[in-house]
């Protein structure tokens, strides 16, 4: 009897041990790997001067780890945001893609969707209600398309940044009387030119002026569906009157001497603007703090693109912008729920407010006001915030892979008159046809 009892006790103890060990195994530490680009991302321009542990994102990960015992988050800084998509693909094929990657939204993400886990089934409903930009992450921008991730961490807006002193010197007041038509805009630039200052400086070797401003005119006249249809080869860029008219005006700005002569190759356009040698430059709001630091808070203004056609069918009184970034979960991730939990945490109101302490931007959350962000009424940041619902989505994120590269490459040639708009459009058509195959 004793023997039976002893055996029973031993068996019971073994069972307890097995259960205990199994429990321990279940509580095994979980690790998330996250790729974040080194710039224009959660890592602000000023933060790069600090040690990595002082960055907002490093601290946010620590807070997430604290809130989720047993979870560790590893930050991998991607040096080249443009090449990150291909690196992500290569890692996905090798089975080593990170759990979460901060990439670019729209076509950039759709181009790698084979490596991205759709998150329709795990995204919290609260986030769907409180965040903006979901349409840029849905397959082919369709409302019922698969959801490939969260839109990036900010609504980035593009404007002409302008130097108020230089503009006033030309007898203009863009605050009270901004040019709202291209005719008014030309007249203003002519006045600035006569003061001996370069009206607009840009470096179109990557076509900033075109992508931050000029595409607005294309969008105004042709609309997003036509642009997408051109990309997919259903219609022709060469027959797209909006595109051709936009390119004509884009080239005319350079031809009339309103844009720096070396715009196709300039290496110092931003420095020139910051040094007060040029009146306007196309820029994103992410770098507004640099302009304010260089020129003074009272000396920096923002100007939305003028209307190319007051009766344009698709948009008026808007800027170019949107949620250009994307946070995606890779198919390699063993913990997709946890990965989404991390993205959701980063998108929360508390974390967004923390991030705002390091960068000035328009938040992706609907429940954060300009006052919450501490933007003074009448300030340049307040004006930026007033465009939070008035923007057209980045056209280069609508252009399909391949077409967009050709667009970047050939655009400067159109600006300086070395390629006609028609020839440019035909080159895009050829690329669209090639990609279709």
Residues that bind another protein (CB under 8 A): 82-83, 85-87, 89-90, 92-93, 107-108, 111-112, 114-115, 205-206, 260-262, 264-268, 400-406, 409-410, 412-413, 416, 418-419, 431, 434-435, 437
Under DSSP, is residue 132 helix (H, G, I), strand (E, B) or coil? coil
Shortest CB 134 distance to another protein, Å: 21
Two tokens, residue 413: 């040639």
Nearer to another protein, 338 or 399 (CB): 399
Nearer to another protein, 222 or 266 (CB): 266
- The contacts of residue 417 (CB under 8 Å, 6+ apart) are 251, 254, 255
Helices (H), 256-300: 269-274, 288-295
Nearer to another protein, 356 or 403 (CB): 403
Shortest CB 216 distance to another protein, Å: 22
Nearer to another protein, 125 or 437 (CB): 437
The residue assigned the tokens 């969707």 is 113
Shortest CB 355 distance to another protein, Å: 27
Under DSSP, is residue 48 helix (H, G, I), strand (E, B) or coil? helix
Q: In angstroms, rounded to a whole number, what is the distance separating the alpha carbons of residues 305 and 282?
A: 10
Two tokens, residue 148: 């490939």
Shortest CB 164 distance to another protein, Å: 24
Nearer to another protein, 132 or 435 (CB): 435
Q: In angstroms, rounded to a whole number, what is the distance separating the alpha carbons of residues 315 and 197?
A: 32
What's the residue count for the chain? 437
Shortest CB 206 distance to another protein, Å: 7
State how far the alpha carbon of 381 is from the alpha carbons of 155, 300, 362, 374, 375, in Å.
13, 10, 9, 9, 6
Shortest CB 200 distance to another protein, Å: 15
Helices (H), 131-240: 164-169, 182-194, 208-209, 215-231
Nearer to another protein, 68 or 205 (CB): 205
Nearer to another protein, 261 or 357 (CB): 261
Shortest CB 151 distance to another protein, Å: 18
Nearer to another protein, 67 or 90 (CB): 90
Q: In angstroms, rounded to a whole number, what is the distance separating the alpha carbons of residues 357 and 363?
A: 12
Q: Dmax of the chain from CA atoms?
A: 111
Shortest CB 113 distance to another protein, Å: 9
DSSP single-letter state for residue 335: -
State how far the alpha carbon of 94 is from the alpha carbons of 88, 108, 112, 119, in Å.
10, 20, 14, 22
Beta bridge partners of 303: 160
């Amino acid at each position: 009897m004793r023997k039976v009892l002893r055996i029973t006790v031993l068996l019971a103890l073994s069972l307890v041990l097995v259960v205990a060990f199994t429990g321990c195994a279940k509580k095994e530490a979980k690790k998330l790997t996250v790729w974040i680009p080194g710039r224009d991302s959660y890592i602000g321009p000023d933060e790069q001067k600090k040690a990595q542990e002082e960055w907002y994102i490093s601290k946010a990960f620590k807070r997430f780890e604290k809130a989720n015992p047993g979870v560790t988050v590893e930050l991998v800084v991607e040096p080249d945001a443009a090449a990150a998509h291909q690196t992500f693909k290569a890692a996905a094929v090798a089975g080593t893609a990170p759990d979460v990657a901060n990439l670019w939204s729209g076509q950039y993400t759709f181009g790698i969707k084979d490596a991205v886990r759709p998150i329709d089934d795990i995204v919290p409903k609260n986030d769907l209600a409180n965040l903006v930009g979901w349409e840029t992450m849905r397959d082919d921008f369709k409302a019922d398309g698969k959801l490939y991730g969260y839109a990036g961490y900010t609504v980035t807006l593009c404007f002409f940044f302008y130097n108020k002193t230089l503009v006033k010197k030309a007898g203009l007041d863009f605050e009270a009387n901004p040019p709202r038509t291209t005719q008014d805009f030309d007249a203003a630039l002519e006045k600035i030119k006569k003061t001996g200052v370069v009206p607009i400086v840009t470096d179109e070797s990557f076509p900033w002026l075109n992508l931050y401003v000029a595409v607005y005119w294309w969008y105004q006249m042709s609309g997003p569906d036509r642009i997408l249809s051109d990309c997919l080869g259903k219609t022709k860029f060469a027959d797209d009157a909006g595109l051709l008219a936009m390119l004509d005006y884009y080239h005319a700005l350079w031809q009339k001497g309103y844009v720096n002569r070396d715009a196709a190759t300039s290496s110092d356009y931003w420095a020139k603007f910051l040094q007060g040698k040029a009146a306007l430059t196309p820029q994103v709001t992410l770098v507004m703090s640099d302009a304010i630091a260089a020129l003074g808070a009272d000396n920096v203004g923002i100007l939305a693109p003028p209307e190319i056609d007051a009766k344009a069918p698709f948009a008026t009184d808007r800027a170019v912008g949107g949620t250009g970034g994307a946070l995606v979960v890779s198919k390699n991730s063993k913990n997709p729920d946890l990965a989404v939990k991390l993205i959701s945490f980063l998108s929360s109101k508390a974390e967004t407010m923390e991030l705002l302490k390091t960068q000035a931007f328009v938040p992706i959350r609907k429940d954060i006001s300009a006052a919450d962000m501490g933007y003074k009424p009448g300030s340049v940041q307040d004006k930026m915030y007033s465009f939070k619902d008035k923007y057209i989505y980045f056209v280069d994120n609508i252009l399909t892979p391949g077409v967009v590269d050709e667009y970047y490459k050939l655009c400067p040639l159109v600006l300086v008159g070395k390629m006609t708009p028609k020839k440019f459009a035909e080159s895009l058509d050829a690329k669209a046809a090639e990609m279709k195959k």
